[in-house]
Amino acid sequence: MNNSTPLSGKKILVAVTGSIAAVKAPILVSRLIQAGVEVRCVITQSAAKLVSPLSLSTLSRNKCYQDKDQWEDNQTKPLHIALAEWAELIIVAPMSATSLSKFTSGNAEGLLASILLAAQSQIVIAAAMNTSMWSNQSVQKNWNYAKSLAQVISLEPSEGLLACDRIGEGKMVNLDIIELASESAFIFRAQNKLLTKDLKGTRFLVSAGPTVETLDAARQLTNRSSGRMGVLIAQAAKLRGAKVDLVHGPISIQKELLEGLNTYPVRSSTEMGEKIDDLQPLAQVIVMAAAVSDFKKNNPSEKKVSKEIFLESIFEELVLTPDLIKNQTKKKLENQIFLGFAAETGSDKEIIEKGENKRVIKGCDLLMANPIDKAGQGFDKNFNSGFLLGPKNIVKNLSFSTKLSISHQLLDEIRNIKSKIY
């Protein structure tokens, strides 16, 4: 069992440009180092006024390169070429309007600009600037061109309070999203592929997390689902160009992982079903990854019931919750693709048999049956495995891996089905 992440042992060049969001760069470098990455840094002149090159050198355990280093006379190879060839991935965070303009116009002035033009690896760019600058027609033209490049993984800024005291778009995406994009790049690199916008124009509807059913004023029914699997599928789809609606119960993962998604928080199975009903007609792909509670109590008490009365009545008052997947597939529109999930226990054979039975009964095109009785994976873990089941007795073994890697494998299968339909 390999518990390493897609970033372990990789070589990443972190580039910092002149946006106030540069102050987050040391934290990013530190997080990458903790993930087992070999990090080198390059910083522009304007960024060096905002964050100390020494701090980046100390955190990365390597020299932080600046423009003045580009043509030192002790080099056997031009520095920008050496760094471009060394890097397996380049992260530009933040990407300022100036650096974006240089990159998209082929301007090689400065060390970073030269590196980006010489790079053969994928480049993650996370834009950050004032709202008016971001919405400027010239900046948007440059950004749209950068997004069109297969080499580029573009992370648009989010809306929030900016350093200029203005609230609007321009805030650099949080570091969790930058890490997800970086991990995704290496997942594809392992297959000698680039992470591209191959799902552009596709609308996804994803459910995630547990649901909670009220029993009385003090008690509730729920399950151990954290929501990680569904949220990572949603983010992976977004990285690949999809528009994503996420309906989620009370998740227990960091809220930063929801950034950039259209989110609809709900609590009960009834609320989740109603919201999915609203959004289903808009979606081409529906991923039902939520772990919906199996039981609920009709007319739960608004007061706390005594333990004795609770025990006497609880089993008589519990009813089954609606089968959300089955209910939604009954309303399936032409060419909609459904992916369901089934958490199971037992041998591989038993899991496959139970999963295929559920796939047929629930009407799913695809269903992932994943064991929850194996150590280190499943509920509230970062790793998973299982079997992807499809029509004509298709069974694909999804071996033990990170949930992000599993997410991309599932999306690959959805893309393959979609390409045959449309």
- What are the phi and psi torsion angles at 307 (to 5°)? -55, -40
**Angle formed by the axes of helices 403-421 and 175-189, to 10°?**
70
Q: How many CB atoms lie within 10 A of CB 20?
A: 20
Burial of 192 (0-12, 13-18, 19+ CB in 10 A): exposed
Query: Could you say which DSSP state residue 374 is in?
Result: S
Whether residue 194 contacts residue 188, with contact meaning beta carbons closer than 8 Å, is answered with: yes
Which H or E run contains 324?
Answer: helix 324-329
List beta partners, residue 206.
Answer: 246, 287
Choosing from 41, 64, 164, 364, which is the catalytic residue?
A: 164
Q: Let me know if 364 is a catalytic residue.
A: no
In 103-256, the DSSP E strands lie at 122-127, 152-155, 158-161, 167-171, 203-208, 213-214, 220-221, 243-248
Q: How many CB atoms lie within 10 A of CB 216?
A: 17
The length of the chain in residues reads 422
Q: State the distance between the two ends of the chain, measured CA to CA, in whole angstroms.
A: 39
Spatial separation of the C-alpha atoms in residues 39 and 28, rounded to whole Å: 10
Q: Which residues are catalytic?
A: 164
